[in-house]
Amino acid sequence: KKTSDELREAYLFFRKTEHRIQLNHQIQTHELPRTLEDQEDLARRMGYSDNALRNFLADLEKHRRVVEELFSSMFYHSGEEILNSVSPEVRQLVEIIEDQDKTKSLLSRLGFAEPDASYTIIKGIIRPSDRKVGSEKGRSLLERLAPLFIEELLNVPEPDRALIALDRYIDSLYAHSAYFSTLLENPPTVRFIMKILGESRFFTDLLIRHPQAIDSLIARGAQEYPKSKESLENELEERLV
């Protein structure tokens, strides 16, 4: 009963916030205003008065944590399960990450042109600090997610560049660690995101500026993209009939 009440309160809070944002900007968006002035205005339109913005953000974080913890408890993948699902090279990388020389040597063999720089970034993803992810829960989720990211990283043409883009993308999720849970339950989306980060600078910048776009990617079945040439030709033929 307590869980259902908390989930209901979180849903109503998020929906009310979403409606206030969309009414003000006259567009469909799920992002908070960027400026403090606009955030303060949103907080007051949400009904907050004294210390409006601080109290609004505190409630927002409280509801986010409720949803994040519930999601994680329902869809839990242990680190061991994930490691068993990736390649031996990725498992070895995770296991030896504290040994700088061995890890750099492995990175070089795996196709990284700049193993020194890449080592620092990869270690920060496998062993995230509080500067990388704000909450302890978020850091735990990223640790479990890291092998999936690295597995896909090994399949892109320029892993060094894609790794830098991945690091920027993770930084953009600093206050939105619930998305790590979403990605853990959607490995095809991890693959799709890494394809974007590895092949398109334009869409990488777009994804980093709008990290909530993950929701749309999952909801619209983006994991099925990019479509094959045959699939596109068949779709075109159907539309022309």
pLDDT digits (tens, 9 = 90+) for 199-228: 888 888 888 888 777 666 655 544 455 556
- Looking at residue 72, its pLDDT comes to 60
Q: Average pLDDT in the 114-124 region?
A: 95
Distance CA 170, CA 237 (A): 40
| pTM beyond cutoff 0.85 | no
- Burial string for 46-59 (b: 16+ CB within 10 Å, else e) reads bebeeebbeebeeb
User: Tokens representing 196?
Assistant: 């974007």
Confidence of residue 230 (pLDDT cuts 50, 70, 90): confident
User: Tokens representing 10?
Assistant: 């979180």
Confidence of residue 95 (pLDDT cuts 50, 70, 90): very high
Distance CA 206, CA 213 (A): 9
Confidence of residue 178 (pLDDT cuts 50, 70, 90): confident
Distance CA 14, CA 63 (A): 8
Are the CB atoms for 196 and 235 separated by under 8 Å?
A: no
- Burial string for 105-138 (b: 16+ CB within 10 Å, else e) reads ebbeebebebbeebbebbbbbbebeeebbebebb
| Residue with tokens 């075109």, as numbered in its chain | 236
- Looking at residue 222, its pLDDT comes to 47
* φ, ψ (nearest 5 deg) of residue 42: -60, -45
Are the CB atoms for 58 and 175 separated by under 8 Å?
A: no
Q: Is a pLDDT exceeding 90 seen at residue 147?
A: yes
The helix or strand, by DSSP H or E, that contains position 197, with its residue range, turns out to be helix 187-199
Q: Is a pLDDT exceeding 90 seen at residue 123?
A: yes
- Looking at residue 127, its pLDDT comes to 92
